[in-house]
């Protein structure tokens, strides 16, 4: 009986996390690699061997940035998102198209030089993508899942070392 109570507690916590992620989800976008930042409080030590391994994978298989499990969760506050949308200045990049972009390729969200997106993980793959020769200068972006900045209970895995498949 105690085991069931423990599982019930875990299930409630999972539902809370799912509800919070859904409520704070702002959409997905392609963002230039140079606009992706990793705040010091969530940085893991960069493991050079992991970056080098990912670069080899990218050279053999490509970056495969479209697969949802390869998207990078990131935080942005509403004011900065609005600034980025205004800076991007196209009719097909709006807060609505970030949420609902049924095309295979999400819209490219450009950020002014004073803004960056705070990534919660993906440090190794972004570093490898920046260092690889696979991506052309006009193709140096990654897909990010954007979440409203603020206290986040649902994305706690940022302090664990990244063991990314690619």
Determine the Cα–Cα distance for residues 99 and 89; give it in Å rounded to an integer.
17
Strands in 117-119's sheet, in edge-to-edge order, are: 36-37, 117-119, 72-76, 141-148, 25-32, 108-109
State the Cα angle at 117 between 38 and 137, rounded to 5°: 90
At residue 63, does pLDDT exceed 70? yes
The residue with tokens 């105690």 is 2
Mean pLDDT on 126-147:
93
How confident is residue 159, by pLDDT bands cut at 50, 70 and 90?
very low
List, for residues 20-55, the tens digit of each pLDDT value.
766 788 999 999 999 999 877 655 677 889 999 999
Mean pLDDT on 63-77:
91
Percent pLDDT > 70 in the chain is 79
């Amino acid at each position: 009986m105690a085991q069931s109570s423990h599982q019930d507690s875990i299930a409630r916590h999972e539902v809370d996390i799912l509800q919070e992620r859904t409520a704070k989800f702002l959409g997905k976008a392609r963002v230039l690699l140079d606009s992706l930042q990793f705040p010091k409080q969530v940085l893991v030590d960069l493991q050079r061997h992991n970056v080098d391994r990912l670069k080899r994978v990218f050279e053999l298989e490509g970056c495969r940035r479209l697969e949802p499990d390869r998207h990078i969760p990131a935080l942005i506050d509403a004011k900065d998102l609005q600034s980025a949308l205004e800076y991007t200045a196209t009719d097909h990049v709006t807060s609505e198209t970030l949420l609902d972009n049924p095309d295979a390729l999400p819209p490219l969200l450009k950020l002014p030089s004073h803004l960056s997106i705070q990534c919660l993980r993906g440090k190794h793959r972004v570093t490898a993508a920046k260092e690889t020769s696979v991506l052309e200068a006009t193709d140096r972006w990654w897909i990010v899942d954007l979440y409203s900045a603020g206290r986040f209970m649902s994305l706690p895995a940022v302090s664990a070392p990244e063991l990314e498949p690619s």
